[in-house]
Structures are given as C-alpha cells and as structure tokens.
Structure 1
C-alpha cells in the first residue's frame, strides 16, 4: 500500500443555517482516516457544482441529509494512494466517484447519495472504496472531467433510447427565485429532424451537447431572454422558447413538432411541469424525471393519472446513473474525443466555494460552475 503523508485535508462543510444572507459553508481542516484495504485516496483537482448543492445548502432538499455534511458529488482527481487489495485503480490514475454509491449495476435496492446521505467531495482529498470510483477520460482537463459524474451521467441516462429521427424534449430550468419559495427543511426517416426542449442548467447543457452529437434538432427554453440569446449565439441552429412569456409551452412544443409530440422528455421541474410534459409527449413516449426545480404542489398532479393512461406514457425516475452508466458515458466521450469546456460557465478558486454556491443559487449560470484546486 502506498501511503503519502496526507494526514489532514481542507474541506467545506455546511453550516446548516438556512437564514437568507448567512454563510452556508464553513471552512475546516480535519484529519484523514487510514486507508482500508480496498480504499483509494484521491487528490482532488476540480469540483463541479449542481443545483442540488445550492438547494441542500439552503435547506430545500426533500430528503434527509447528514448534519453539517460536505457538499458536492462531482469531482475529478488523481489517485495518490491505494489500499493493498485494490485491483482496479493504480497510483496516477484519474478518477471520480459515482453520485449514488449504492448504484453499481442499476439493480441494487439501496441508495446513498454523496452530499446528502454521506459526505460529498468539496475537499482537497477524498477517500472512497474502489467499487464506487470510475476512471475518467485521459484527454480531458480536470475542470472538464469534474462535470461528468452527476450532470453528465444524468443527461446520458435520461436520454437513453433516443435515436436519429426521434424528438427529445428537456423541460426548461426554473429560476432560483421560484425554487426558493419552497418550505425550508426544518431539522420519421434516418435524417429527419428531431427536437429538444432545453433549459440552461448543468444537465440541460450536457443534454444539448449529447443531442447535437446525435444529430437532433434543438428547442431551447429558459425564463431569461438574455440566456436564450447567449445560447442562440453559441448554437445558431437551435430554436428558443421563453416559458415565462409562453405559459402554455406544452402547446408550443406540440406546434413545433407538428402536433405529434416528443419521444423523450427530460423533466426537471416536478409537480409544476410534469403534467404539461406528459401532454407534449407522443403516445407511447418516455418521460425521464430527473429533478424537482419548481415549487412542489401535489394539487398540480390532479390530471397525472388520466394523462399517463391516455398518452400511454412511460414515466421513469432518473437518479443520476449507475457506475456502469458512468463507465459507458466515459467510453463514449473517449471514443469521440468530445471536449466539454464549452459546457463550463465559470471557474472559481476552491477558496471561493461560498461565492460559487450563491452564484448557482441565484441562477446566474449558463452551464457548469466548477471549483478548481
């Protein structure tokens, strides 16, 4: 077992103070545990933030979280030590953990999410069992690679089953202002065009990247004309919808798809948008529920069951993805040598983690926010 002299680490733990305007993170230096036989010690080079991190830090997570836990589940780093029974990784490998450390093959009955059920990766060193780690593509820089485990794998999993000529819709990202209203936690042919309805968050821009690579036509949605214009300048071929100005966005999507509806929806709003997403999915299509960004109100689901039955929709939950999914995604990226730097909106130094979390909470990003160490 190689064991460099790493006895302590720097990390940011949550304050669990959900009062607006108060710090959400506390910088700590803490002792590192000894490596178990199948453990791997990783020197973290980059950590990517997701909306769920800002949501957890502000008390909005709908599931329990460990007190004062470490945020984030997206990280890329270098293996610097391994336990004496580690077989799949070696010193010098590039690796990152899967988001749900119980989800290896996709058939497991348990789950354990980083940054919620257990500590996350907002630290300069982390230790994980080799079974929950994946090798990362060698050709990517650390910032790019850090975006893969959660946002990348979520988009990859949610779009499973798409093919040339199908239509794909990604329900647009709601603003943080809307999401912050929640109660807070107390203790046609081979070359036919396809369509994607997309927002401006991390999963959305990853899905845009994948859809482009698959030759799909894209419809982009946001509540911000500024964001839509910026994305239009970056990707001139896309169509755009401002859903705040078009409340009946599901009808607009039906018009854009000739009244047929889309084949797959990547749905990230939750109760406030799910029924509309179902309405603009073709009969027999798929809705992948990946998030819960809107204000959650059960009253919005009164037409859920009849709509699912009428349109014969397959509604599937996407919990990021399994280790196998992440390995498949990394293999696909490596085969295509696809760069991911265009998905990164802004890079913060590690020491500015608090500012980065607030940036995401305010919904300022178009793409991924990354901390660099």
Structure 2
C-alpha cells in the first residue's frame, strides 16, 4: 500500500507541476525575448541620436562602440545608400523602416530591431541591431533547470509525506494482521493495540470482540465436553460389568478388551475437545510408522497378506504428535484390512522430502470406487472417517493428503507431513 500511495502522490504532484511549470517556462522564455528586444532597442536609439549630428567616421565609431558594449551587431543604413558599422543585408524590413516606421522583424538567425531616423536632408536613416537566437534565450536554460530541480524536489517531498502518512495507516493494519495470525494459530489471548485512523481502530475493536467471543464459545464447548464425559462413563461402566459377568472367560476377556478400547477412544476424543489449544507436537515418524506397521503385521500374517515396509535409515522428525500419527497410520491400515480381500498385500513407504516427510500406503485391492472418497459414503460401506482422520493429521502438520490408484492397481494414499 505504501508503494501505491507513493506512486499516486508522485503522479498527482507531477500533473500539478506540469500544469504550473509549463506556462511559467513559456513565460520565462517570452520575458527573456522581450528583455533582449528592449535592450537592443535602447542600443539602437542611442546610436540613432548621433545620426544627423555626427559625420560618417564618428557615426561608424559610435556604432562599433555600441556593438562592443551591448554584444549585438549595430548597422546604420544612411539615406544615400551607405552602410556604416557591422555588415548586414538590406532586407525588406529595412526598406519598410526607411519609410519612417520602426519595427522588430524576424530573420533566419533571430530578430532585427530597426529604428527609423527621420528629418535627415537626404531622407530617412535606419539603425539596425541584430539579435541571434542565443541572445533571445540568454538565461532561459538556467531558469528552466532551476524550475526542473524545484519540481523534482517538490515531488520528492510529496512522496516522503505520502510515505509517512501511509506508514501511519499500514502500521496498525500490519498489527491487525499479526493478531489475526496469532488467533488463527490458537492464541486466543492476542489483542490489538488501538491506533491509526478511526476506521482501523474500529476493525481492531471488532477483532478483539471476535476473539473474546471465540474464547467464550470454546469455554462452553469444554464444559459441554466435560458433561458428555460424565454421561458416557456410566454406560461404559455398566457395559464393563456386563462383560465381566459372562460365563465364558474368553468371551468376557474379548468383550472387556473391546470396552477398554472404546473407553480409550472416548477419552481421547473428549481430551481433544477439552484442550484449549494444541501445542505443536513432534515425533520421529520413522519410529511411529515402523511400530504401527509391525503391530498390524501380526494380523497380516494371519491373513497371508504380503507386507512391504520401507523406512529411512535416520530419524525423521515431523510436526505431528506420536499419538496422532499412530492413529493416522492405524486408520489407513485399518481401511486396507477392512476393504480388501484376505491375501491382498500392502506397502508402506516413508521417505524424507524438502517439506518434511512423505508417507505412502498402497494396497493390491480393488482400489477406490466411485464415490468412495466422499466422507460418509464409502464404496465399501464404511463411514470414510479413516481418510478424514489421515487428512486432518496431515493438514495439522502443515502438509496435505492425496489419494489415487497404485501403480499395480489398488488404492494409494499419499500424506505429506510438515517438518518440525
């Protein structure tokens, strides 16, 4: 914005200065020409005063002295045809002046000032003073240069003032942007510092009000989650007691393990909701992915599923917590076991990339069907939440998720995880 305001002020100031200085420049040139004509007229009149009273030799000396002092050639045309002083052609303007009328006429090299001297015995004499183009423009260049420098200085001052004014406007706006970024990152204590024009202050107050309202809503959500946690504990406890009362010990243990898993999942969801803001966690992706694949490899061996695991030789730190990344890998591998027939293999590859890490999960199953990528409408009858969990984990780390077809057929899920 500062640049655009500076350009706007420079353009506006330039137009104003052009409208003002161009007429002034033309006026300066006209005044310089008028001054040169007046000086030449005075020189011609001083010589004309000697015509008729001085002889030819004295008149020649007077014309030469006038030429030397004024710097302009002075010529005297006598009625008898003699030409005294500086050599000059007898132009039509001289002939016209010989009829008794003084005038200023243009010549190929500039102007000539002609003063008619009447009352001589033989007729009318003409005193001519020649002016070159340099005489007509003497001093004009210096004045024009001064006006140009003045105009540039005024434009510079205008740009400087505009920049100061723009800074007074952009500085509070930059502060608002920083506060909004902090709020987006989860820092709900961020507040603006009032400043700038009234409109910017109003925006800052509105942003502070919005931040306060978000905090209130999150507090209500945490309270609601706490209430939900208490409500869920009771039926889970009853379910656990029912499982323990079963006569078959193996069935009781199996149902008890499922109840424990359900309780852990419910606790994890509630803790996530109640958490005010997540601190950016990190973990060694190679260790987490390797541990989860080894966990699923036991079930893969029972179902005759080939497993291809490739991990980097060194630790690979990503901007995701171990629990979140582990849940992500579990969701993707759970989809493989749920939606591919027994015997279909899968491959898990983790590689380092400039952005962080690239996690690929591919299988040799039927692949994604039409509509299978939409949440809540899986082609295999699932809820589609596994892909949603993976997507949220990738985006929370600053990465992304893409799905498609594996090179040998089947499904391919690629996660880009941000670097810590």
- With normalisation by structure 1, the TM-score equals 0.21
Which protein is richer in strand relative to its size? 1
The higher-RCO structure (CA 8 Å, 6+ apart) is: 1
